[in-house]
Amino acid sequence: MAHFILGRKGRMAQLFTEDGRCIPVTVLEAGPCTVTQVKSVESDGYVAVQLAYEPIREQLLTKPLVGHFKKTGSVPCRILRETIVDGAQGLALGAVVACDVFEKGQFVDVAGIIKGRGTAGVMKRHGFKGRPASHGHMCQRRPGSIGMHSEPARVFKGKKMAGHYGATRQTTQNLEVISVDRERNLLLVKGAVPGHIGGLVMIRSAKKRPAVAGKKG
């Protein structure tokens, strides 16, 4: 069963494992989230669950949103996100999803908005190699030729060039859950996570690495 939860990215750190290895971890504040809407094929044409995260004062919301929260009996929240679920999840309206839906050792995918880089050149944006820094080279970070000659006499669509880079959603797959702290709603995952510290992250069970049979996943 796939799980989904909203959270905030915390700082990165290092931990020692029992066998003495040092592993990189990212602290994530995850949930608790309240189910504020359950969409079904009959009413909406698809099956999804809407989660609310981070309670805020009612005055900060628009009236329609306040009404939406009132209807479900949940406290007003800053963030609403929806996830398509495989019908088995069976979350009811008002149910609370906490970080302990995940357990130590399983793998998760974490999505976030990566840091904005503004206008970036082709080396940073597309990983072009550039040219050597020395030995008489007159340019270092330029893209080089962008096409052929009088045939086709144009630049192909989709040609990788300089431009705006970053501030888009990105998912890091298969991060191992190192620890789960239900009391403080903290998840520790191994490795880096997209986005700023404090950025919104969406954590779900790893798509390509299902949990071992018999375990939650």
Partner 1 sequence: MNKHDDVVNKALRAKPLAVFGIGDTVDVQVLIREGEKERIQIFNGTVIARRGKIGPSATFTVRRIVQGEGVERIFPINSPKVVGLVVKTRVSVRRAKLFYLRKRVGKAAKLKEIIG
Q: Report the interface residues with partner 1, using CB under 8 A.
A: 10-11, 13-16, 18, 20, 22, 27, 186, 188
Alpha-carbon span 105 to 100, nearest angstrom: 12
Question: Smallest gap, in angstroms, from Cβ of residue 10 to partner 1?
Answer: 5
Cβ–Cβ under 8 Å, residues 85 and 207: no
174 conformational bin, left if phi > 0, alpha if psi -120 to 50, beta if neither: left
- Cβ closer to partner 1: 197 or 212? 197
For partner 1, the closer CB: 123 or 186: 186
The residue among 12 and 148 lying less far from partner 1, judged by its C-beta, is: 12
Let me know how long the chain is: 217
Least distance between partner 1 and beta carbon 53 (Å) = 17
Q: Which has the closest alpha carbon to 212: 105, 118, 108? A: 105
* Helix, strand, or coil (residue 36): strand
CB nearer to partner 1: pick between 14 and 150:
14
User: How far apart are CB 13 and partner 1 at their closest, in Å?
Assistant: 4
* CB 169 to partner 1: min, Å: 24
The neighbouring-strand residues paired with 12 are 26
Chain-centre distance for alpha carbon 170: 6
